């Protein structure tokens, strides 16, 4: 993210005047991002700070390049070297600092993960890596130390390509240059909008979908805004209007609980606000031009670099959730302090005379990244300095969480349209077939059914979509309502005499993603809080009753315990810190989590065909629920809530009464996992 005179603190040519409005805009942007990441109240739309940074980048890079071209002094390699002078040293210091602290405080698996991410951050390719591995909004901060560097990678890729484009544009007539940028702007924006609906992660992470924001800044630079805003009053109005548009956009997006991934047209509002501020060039905006804001603007690049690792560190024990007020204040204060230290001692180092001093200054970027790369290589090559835990037992292994494939990849249905959903079929030579429906908390039951079922089982699941009729998740890429409609239709088919349901009820009943509900007026209206829970209960009650009225058995697994941290990672950390696992879950907290839905399931007690089953007795005693199995010497979970496949295969006997064949299966029958389209008859 940018710093004073340009993105990431690159000073402009001497001919360029300092713009306090840009520096203030940068401070506003980094504040929005930090507040969003610590989940400060009202900051749910703060992710737009990144969009604003991109606009600033495009504006300043265009000005720097064309100013140099106008004086005949532009050099592509001089331009890249100037960018490296500011970006690389602070980035190298971040990587070295985190690895140094990690070597003292983190177990080998965590340190190895940090080193691997650091490699991609150093070569400015982390946006592509995080795009390829789950994305921004689908994984928590724990362990993702360099997730925030995706935006730096996008900017660096832009820096590498944009000068070449402007060198070509310089060959054109001056009036054609804005037209060329406008055409590329329109193409990139169109690509972004299409990808927001079809491939939201690509729209979020990749340069082609983000280039329009930087090109928007370039258009402002070439657009000669002084013709529109020559009068001081107009410039002032435009500047304040731009700030207002940014702030209102952030507040409104937060109010709507919209996700940064797949935002679509909503991204254009903060971009337009940033363009207004840049175009007006009004230096007397009291919001942007005061001592505090200007200081934050100067330190913004380093604040951005260091704030996210602080968030990650807090997430390791859910500090921001458990102690929200002091933790958030601490993260803000520490981000500013570390940002100032990095700015003072790393970013703002000046050229020292001539000779050796000048040579050292010129070599500083390469030395910083080179030193960081060497340390990263050592850490990665030694398995995260595994020698620090010479007696690592097989009982706690993070790789069990990272490598286990408890549900066949071919059957994984995440953000798929219903026509693309493929059930997982466990075939048996039996006249009976049962259906398992739900989200990923139905999928993690698969190992037990595969190993123990004597009847055929169809898993029809959609990750992160609890099967609640008439509810849609208001986030790009999800098709939860279509899935629920189809899966309940599937459940009513004659071939199934038993339907098993398991889902993450906290997802749809808590304060997570925003949902809308389709009522009698056939309009999907956003809903939250107590009303949402009431509607969820009503819809589930009717859906279950409809199946029971058809004479089917309905088996519901109640909510199982879940943690606030990744269990395998946490257990290995505890073993490194304390010598043994300590983590447990309070049974009281489990009962509180599901107090809103357990009574509805209890209403069906004694109703013919309804069966409520639970794994809580297996996991919990009178006060606590375990997350580690000492007999298996394995974590019970692969993350915060999904069961380890080895453990699940041995502990799902609550389902045993429902998988007995009628008649008995033919001798020698063997399981087979296959796929078919929804509604397609068995072969």
Convert the pLDDT of each residue in 539-559 to its tens digit.
999 999 999 999 999 999 999
Give the pLDDT score at 349.
66
Answer whether 125's CB lies under 8 Å from 151's CB.
no
- The answer on pLDDT for 636 being more than 70 is yes
Q: Is the peptide bond before 663 cis (omega within 30 degrees of 0)?
A: yes
Q: What is the DSSP string of 437-450?
A: EESHHHHTTHHHHH
Give the pLDDT score at 228.
58
Q: At what angle do helices 48-70 and 76-105 cross, to 10 degrees?
A: 150
Average pLDDT over the chain, rounded to an integer = 87
Say how far apart CA 95 and CA 568 lie, in whole Å: 25
Q: At what angle do helices 324-342 and 76-105 cross, to 10 degrees?
A: 130
Say how far apart CA 42 and CA 490 lie, in whole Å: 41
Lowest mean pLDDT among 166-175, 623-632, 645-654: 166-175
Please state the rounded mean pLDDT for residues 479-483: 94
Nearby residues of 47 by Cβ (< 8 Å), 6 or more positions away: 32, 33, 36, 253, 260
Closest CA to 276 of 473, 576, 22, 591: 22
Of 135-144, 192-201, 331-340, which has the strongest mean pLDDT? 331-340
Say how far apart CA 447 and CA 655 lie, in whole Å: 12
Residue 288: its H or E element: none
Q: What is the DSSP string of 370-400?
A: HHHHHHHHHHHHTTTTGGGSTT--TT--THH
Give the pLDDT score at 138.
52
Say how far apart CA 317 and CA 582 lie, in whole Å: 13
> Quick count: other Cβ atoms within 10 Å of Cβ 650?
16
Please state the rounded mean pLDDT for residues 232-239: 91
Give the pLDDT score at 682.
43
Please state the rounded mean pLDDT for residues 313-339: 93
Q: What percent of the chain has pLDDT over 90?
A: 67
Give the pLDDT score at 10.
41
| Partners of residue 194 on adjacent β-strands | none
Closest CA to 289 of 20, 18, 31, 17: 20
Give the pLDDT score at 565.
86
DSSP class of residue 620 equals B
Lowest mean pLDDT among 108-122, 294-308, 311-325, 384-398: 384-398
Say how far apart CA 671 and CA 452 lie, in whole Å: 10
Q: Are strands 498-502 and 553-557 parallel, antiparallel or unpaired?
A: parallel
| Higher-pLDDT residue of 506, 336 | 336
Between the alpha carbon of residue 116 and those of residues 46, 93, 136, 137, 144, the distances in Å are 28, 16, 17, 20, 10
236-272 exposure pattern, b = at least 16 Cβ within 10 A, e = fewer: bebbbebbebbbebbeebbeebbbbbbbbebbbbbbb
Give the pLDDT score at 356.
54
- The answer on pLDDT for 666 being more than 50 is no
- The answer on pLDDT for 425 being more than 50 is yes
DSSP class of residue 435 equals E
Answer whether 61's CB lies under 8 Å from 7's CB.
yes
DSSP class of residue 495 equals T
Give the pLDDT score at 390.
64
| Higher-pLDDT residue of 3, 267 | 267
| Higher-pLDDT residue of 492, 668 | 492
Please state the rounded mean pLDDT for residues 452-465: 94
Please compute, for residue 81, the number of CA atoms within 13 A of its CA located in the half-sphere on the CB side.
9
- The answer on pLDDT for 508 being more than 80 is yes
Nearby residues of 268 by Cβ (< 8 Å), 6 or more positions away: 189
- The answer on pLDDT for 336 being more than 70 is yes
- The answer on pLDDT for 244 being more than 50 is yes
**Reported confidence tier of residue 421, pLDDT bands at 50, 70, 90:** confident
- The answer on pLDDT for 648 being more than 50 is yes
Domains in the chain (CATH in brackets) are 7-385 (no CATH), 406-563+597-618+644-668 (3.40.50)
Please state the rounded mean pLDDT for residues 61-69: 93
| Higher-pLDDT residue of 118, 431 | 118
> Quick count: other Cβ atoms within 10 Å of Cβ 328?
20
Say how far apart CA 527 and CA 533 lie, in whole Å: 9
Nearby residues of 667 by Cβ (< 8 Å), 6 or more positions away: none
Say how far apart CA 586 and CA 624 lie, in whole Å: 5
Token pair of 315 as six digits:
């997430």
Please compute, for residue 116, the number of CA atoms within 13 A of its CA located in the half-sphere on the CB side.
14
Please state the rounded mean pLDDT for residues 456-462: 95
Say how far apart CA 427 and CA 449 lie, in whole Å: 11
Give residue for tokens 């297996």.
618
| Higher-pLDDT residue of 43, 363 | 43
Residue 303: φ, ψ to 5°: -60, -45
Convert the pLDDT of each residue in 69-113 to its tens digit.
989 999 999 999 999 998 999 999 999 999 999 999 999 989 999
Give residue for tokens 């009976």.
432
- The answer on pLDDT for 123 being more than 90 is yes
- The answer on pLDDT for 134 being more than 70 is no
Please state the rounded mean pLDDT for residues 388-412: 61
- The answer on pLDDT for 14 being more than 90 is no
**Reported confidence tier of residue 162, pLDDT bands at 50, 70, 90:** very high
Token pair of 218 as six digits:
């370039």
Nearby residues of 27 by Cβ (< 8 Å), 6 or more positions away: 288, 293, 294, 295, 296, 297, 300
Please state the rounded mean pLDDT for residues 26-33: 98
Residue ranges of the alpha helices (H) in 579-658? 587-593, 598-602, 616-619, 645-650
Lowest mean pLDDT among 201-210, 534-543, 562-571: 562-571
**Reported confidence tier of residue 317, pLDDT bands at 50, 70, 90:** confident
Q: What percent of the chain has pLDDT over 70?
A: 88
Nearby residues of 616 by Cβ (< 8 Å), 6 or more positions away: 558, 560, 561, 587, 590, 625
Say how far apart CA 117 and CA 114 lie, in whole Å: 5
Nearby residues of 152 by Cβ (< 8 Å), 6 or more positions away: 1, 8, 87, 91, 121, 124, 126
Give the pLDDT score at 365.
86
Answer whether 619's CB lies under 8 Å from 584's CB.
no
Say how far apart CA 332 and CA 337 lie, in whole Å: 9
Give the pLDDT score at 656.
94
**Reported confidence tier of residue 353, pLDDT bands at 50, 70, 90:** low
- The answer on pLDDT for 402 being more than 50 is no
Give the pLDDT score at 683.
39
């Amino acid at each position: 993210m940018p710093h004073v005179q340009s993105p990431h603190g690159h000073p402009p040519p001497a001919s360029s005047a300092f713009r306090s409005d840009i520096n203030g805009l940068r401070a506003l942007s980094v504040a929005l991002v930090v507040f969003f990441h610590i989940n400060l109240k009202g900051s749910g739309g703060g992710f737009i700070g990144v969009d604003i940074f991109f606009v600033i980048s495009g504006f300043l890079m265009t000005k720097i390049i064309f100013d140099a071209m106008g004086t005949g002094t532009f050099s592509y390699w001089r331009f890249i070297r100037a960018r490296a002078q500011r970006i690389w040293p602070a980035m190298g210091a971040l990587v070295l600092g985190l690895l140094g602290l990690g070597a003292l405080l983190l177990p080998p698996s965590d340190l190895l993960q940090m080193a691997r991410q650091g490699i991609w951050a150093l070569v400015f390719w982390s946006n592509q890596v995080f795009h390829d591995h789950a994305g921004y909004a689908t994984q928590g901060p724990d362990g993702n130390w360099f997730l925030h560097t995706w935006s730096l990678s996008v900017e660096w890729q832009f820096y590498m390509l944009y000068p070449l484009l402007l060198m070509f544009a310089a060959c054109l007539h001056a009036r054609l240059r804005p037209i060329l940028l406008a055409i590329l702007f329109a193409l990139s924006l169109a690509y972004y909008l299409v990808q927001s609906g079809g491939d939201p992660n690509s729209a979020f992470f990749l340069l082609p979908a983000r280039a329009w924001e930087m090109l928007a800044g370039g258009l402002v630079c070439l657009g000669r805004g002084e013709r529109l805003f020559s009068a001081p009053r107009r410039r002032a109005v435009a500047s304040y209007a731009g700030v207002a548009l940014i702030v209102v956009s952030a507040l409104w997006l937060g109010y709507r609980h919209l996700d940064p991934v797949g935002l679509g047209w909503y991204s254009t509002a903060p971009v337009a606000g940033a363009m207004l501020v840049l175009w007006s060039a009004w230096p007397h905006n009291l919001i942007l031009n005061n001592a505090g804001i200007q200081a934050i603007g100067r330190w913004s690049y380093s604040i951005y670099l260091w704030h996210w690792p602080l968030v990650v560190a807090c997430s390791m024990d859910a500090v921001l959730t458990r102690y929200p007020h002091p933790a958030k204040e601490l993260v803000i204060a520490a981000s500013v302090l570390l940002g100032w230290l990095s700015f003072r001692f790393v970013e703002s180092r000046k050229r020292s005379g001539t000779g050796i001093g000048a040579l050292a200054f010129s070599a500083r970027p390469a030395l910083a990244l080179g030193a960081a790369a060497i340390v990263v290589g050592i850490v990665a090559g030694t398995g995260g300095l595994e020698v620090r835990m010479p007696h690592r037992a097989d009982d706690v292994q993070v790789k069990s969480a990272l490598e286990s494939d408890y549900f066949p990849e071919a059957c994984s249905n995440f953000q798929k349209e219903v026509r693309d959903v493929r059930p997982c079929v466990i075939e048996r030579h039996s006249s009976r077939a049962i259906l398992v429906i739900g989200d990923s908390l139905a999928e993690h039951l698969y190992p037990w059914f595969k190993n123990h079922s004597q009847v055929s089982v169809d898993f029809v699941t959609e990750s992160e979509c609890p099967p609640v009729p008439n509810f849609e998740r208001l986030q790009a890429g999800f098709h939860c309502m279509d899935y629920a409609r189809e899966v309940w239709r599937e459940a009513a088919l004659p071939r199934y005499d038993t339907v098993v349901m398991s889902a993450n009820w906290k997802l749809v009943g808590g304060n997570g993603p925003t949902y809308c509900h389709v009522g009698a007026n056939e309009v999907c209206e956003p809903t939250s809080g107590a009303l949402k829970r009431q509607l969820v209960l009503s819809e589930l009650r009717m859906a279950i009753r409809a199946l029971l009225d058809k004479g089917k058995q309905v088996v519901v697994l109640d909510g199982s315990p879940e943690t606030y941290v990744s269990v395998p990672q946490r257990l290995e950390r505890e073993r490194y810190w304390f010598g043994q696992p300590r983590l447990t879950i309070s049974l009281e907290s489990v009962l509180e989590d599901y107090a809103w839905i357990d009574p509805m399931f209890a209403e069906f007690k004694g109703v013919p065909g309804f069966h409520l089953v639970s794994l809580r007795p297996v996991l919990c005693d009178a006060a606590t629920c375990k997350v580690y199995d000492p007999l298996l010497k394995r974590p019970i979970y692969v993350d915060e809530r999904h069961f380890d496949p080895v453990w699940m295969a041995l502990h799902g006997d609550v389902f045993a009464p429902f998988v007995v064949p009628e008649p008995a299966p033919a001798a020698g029958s063997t399981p087979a996992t296959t796929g078919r389209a929804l509604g397609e008859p068995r072969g």
